[in-house]
Structure 1
């Protein structure tokens, strides 16, 4: 299974080939509708640090703001139109300071729940995103949603990171429906060893069954 980092990099490369951008970022969206776990492409670290430290609250394209527009692909002008002119002016000053002339945000959701997003930025000397490019991004957005469904939920990521590499491997196989015999065969382990790993995995994550484990690590909701 691809890692979250691999999924992000593949999305960044695919979008860059079809709608080129000077800078881009892929991120997951947590339960509080905050962007997290950013993967940056050609973006200056200082710009991203300034954004996180001072300008994120003014961003008209942060996940909650994008959701408020009702659009899966949100150009900068649309986002700015949904907030006060004073906030838009301050955020526009930040973008100009870093030579950015246009931004578009693509949000991926599953059953209305936002999972991930992708930011595309154009710099001074480049053309803003055209209507044709925005149409292409709308077409690509469904592919981003498919990719995002392979990500663990942001609030479950911490639990995954506490597992050993072997435990993560077992958890991913369980998510895909593997039985104990499947685990033994694919991991070249004895059934007794598989059962021991499962006991440790259940204890570490505070669950009592496979369905609870999958919900805890991958669905971020109580199992039914």
Structure 2
């Protein structure tokens, strides 16, 4: 496992212990969020495997606190008790039935943003065996969020897509040049790029000359390194 992944897992485990200890919740889920607001890379603590399977397969579409529902919410800590603000009553009722099956009595979401886009979140779940959360504990979640958010940015690197987008803008690449650069950074050969984009090999070489010139480099390895400097 790469060192960065070890750091990430250690941080998540420490955060789980912090939230569980202060909020009295026994089940927690960390997840990453892609550019299309899909959840992935789940890390769970004391969450039944069947719960996660059903959630990923179907119930995510009915979750009133899914990032698609709350992406414009200003408060980074969102409560299930406010679910009707984000989804129709029928969807809220259906999702609550799902939670009831797994003895989840309450839940909140801690949402983390980078450049105004959600990139990660933590679900905090109280079960029937936990004490019901109090207003004081909800306030604690609000208080802890900035601390977790600050440290999470240090542990979770900027997604490659964001790095690429920033690099394209700063290097003033055209749309076609950006497509060529993306494929090159994925290890594609000139012939691969020509086939993927439906253009001639000579056109690919011309684009590469322009890209190298704008990036101030003279070979592929140097371009990849230059692109990643914008992370």
Q: Same fold (TM over 0.5)?
A: yes
- Asked whether the 8 Å contact 1:28–1:154 carries over to 2, the reply is no
Structure 1: how far apart are the matches of 2:4 and 2:160? 19
Spell out the pairing of 1:18-37 with structure 2 (5 A cutoff): 18-37=22-41
- Structure 2, unaligned runs of 5 or more: 163-181, 187-217
Rounded to whole Å, the distance in 1 between the matches of 2:223 and 2:67 is 34
Give the CA deviation at 1:93: 0.6
Q: Deviations over 1:34-85 (max 9, x none)?
A: 2210100000101110111110011111122232332100010112332101
Cα distance in 2 for residues equivalent to 1:10 and 1:141: 14
What does residue 137 of structure 1 align with? 141
Q: Deviating runs (4+, > 3 A) in structure 1?
A: 153-157
Give the structure 2 partner of residue 214 of structure 1.
229
Residues 110 and 145, structure 1, Cα contact 8 Å, conserved in 2? no
3-state SS, counterpart of residue 24 of structure 1: strand
Aligned counterparts of 2:158 and 2:46: Cα–Cα separation in 1: 26
Q: Is the 8 A contact 1:115 1:153 kept in 2?
A: no
Cα RMSD of the aligned pairs, angstroms, is 2.7
Q: What aligned pairs does 1:6-21 form with structure 2 within 5 A after superposition?
A: 6-21=10-25
TM-score calculated relative to the size of structure 1: 0.69
CA offsets per residue over residues 78-117 of structure 1, 9 Å max, x none?
Answer: 1233210111111111001111110010011133222211
Aligned residues: 174
Local SS of the residue matching 1:140: helix
Question: Is this contact kept in 1: 2:32–2:42, CA < 8 A?
Answer: yes
User: Where in structure 2 are the equivalents of 1:119-134 lying within 5 Å?
Assistant: 119-134=123-138
For residues 156 and 111 of structure 1, do their structure 2 counterparts lie closer, same or farther at Cα, with a shift above 3 Å needed?
closer
**Equivalent pair of 2:24/2:131 in contact (CA under 8 Å):** no
Instruction: Confirm whether residue 152 of structure 1 aligns to residue 177 of structure 2.
Output: no
Flag the 1:70–1:84 CA change in 2: closer, same or farther, 3 A: same
CA–CA distance in 1 between the matches of 2:94 and 2:160?
A: 31
Tell which structure's C-alpha radius of gyration is larger.
Answer: 2
TM-score by length of 2: 0.67
Change (3 A) 1:111 1:156: closer
